[in-house]
Amino acid sequence: MNSSVIQPLTVLTEDEQMLFDAVKSFAEEKIKPLSREMDEKAKMEPKIIQELFEMGLMGIEVPEKFDGADSSFFMAILAVEALSYVDPSAAIVVDVQNTLVNNAFMRWGNDAIKGKYLPLLCTSKVGAYALSEAGSGSDAFALKCRAEDKGDYWLLNGQKMWITNAGEAEIFIIFANANPKAGYKGITAFVVERDFEGFSVGKKEDKLGIRASSTCELILENCKVPKDNVLGEVGKGYKVAIETLNEGRIGIGAQMLGVAAGALDAAIKYSQEREQFGKQIAQFQGVQFQVADAATELEAARLFVYNAARMKDAGQKFIKEAAMAKYFASQVAQKITSLAIDLFGGYGFTKEYPVEKLFRDAKIGTIYEGTSNMQLLTIAKQLYT
């Protein structure tokens, strides 16, 4: 079978290709046998997370002095894509750790915070990024969580919703408003550890897709946070959030690439096995054209994502390109996973084959880290400024 669907057509360096191949092989060997069970139980197998750390995938961009791999953002994107080909629930653990949590620590943390937390995040501790609340999703800066300066410490009160990795995480970046009168300019980012007084992880959501990835509520009831645990500056949390999410969107685009490639690869293979009217359905031009169209859109989405990641590594402005990558890749993933179910026929609607899971997994791409409408708004603003 031609492997061009799952192997990037874009030219990769030798190191990049080696990483992609190694991560994909790991996903096939270690994650795939557990994927269905994890989906049904809505729980990530702990040994998978341990192996992600052992492979160095939880600190890809982090410098070696903090126990990271000292590699590029593009490498992190390749790892997310390769994992998502098998199971995007595992991929989002790596994605959030690298593009959101580690990224925020590296960009905004002082030397003490970096020295304390980055080695843990690279070797043993899962991180989570807590911005969303019940009333502040797309309107992210309408958050109600409050931070009160108590002199020797900060006191945080409020709730966070839909926090990815919260079930496994031990280190959290939590956004709260330290000066509500200043509006969004009062928002501040705090580093909270799981065992801090007044902090707890609440309800775990029962989700449509990426079910093995934990999505939970966070509860802060007079949560005491050391004064030194402000990430960045007081009142500058909105900058931390905006700039971090710009990179996170590229990661979601990569996740959607892997989902789409996994579904299309399965559909191509099955179309060569399924027979109707005395021949393989792959021999019908109508099927071939649908698959060709899907493969073309998949590669276009890959170019969007790779270009945005390359621009980030080159230090260029990439806000518009990141939004385009996430928007387009998430649309393509939904289209291709739906087509895969069609080509599988009745089997596609059952849990016997992987495409129904990938169909469910794809939906979140148009929602988290900025809905499709918010991506269009971002793109439009960039075009009109």
Q: Which residues are catalytic?
A: 369
Question: Taking a C-beta distance cutoff of 8 angstroms, is the pair 328, 314 a contact?
Answer: no
Residues 6+ apart with CB under 8 A from 106: 61, 62, 114, 118
The percent helix, strand, coil of the chain (3-state, each to 5) is 55, 15, 25
Distance, CA of 135 to CA of 177 (rounded, Å): 14
Single-letter code of the amino acid located at 299: E
> Beta strands 153-164 and 146-149: pairing type?
antiparallel
Distance, CA of 335 to CA of 257 (rounded, Å): 12
Tell me the DSSP string of 62-74. Answer: S-GGGTS----HH
Distance, CA of 354 to CA of 339 (rounded, Å): 13
What are residue 218's DSSP bridge partners?
160, 201
> Please, what sign has the CA dihedral across residues 170, 56, 248, 164?
negative
Beta strand ranges found along 131-214 (DSSP E): 146-149, 153-164, 171-177, 187-193, 199-204
Question: Taking a C-beta distance cutoff of 8 angstroms, is the pair 147, 190 a contact?
Answer: yes
Burial class, 371, CB count within 10 angstroms (exposed 0-12 / middle 13-18 / buried 19+) = middle
Distance, CA of 260 to CA of 336 (rounded, Å): 6
| Of 331, 221, 347, 332, the residue nearest 281 (C-alpha) | 347
User: How remote is the C-alpha of 164 from its chain's centroid?
Assistant: 9
| Element spanning 215, H or E | strand 215-226
What's the full length of the chain, in residues?
A: 385
CA atoms within 13 A on the CB side of 163: 30
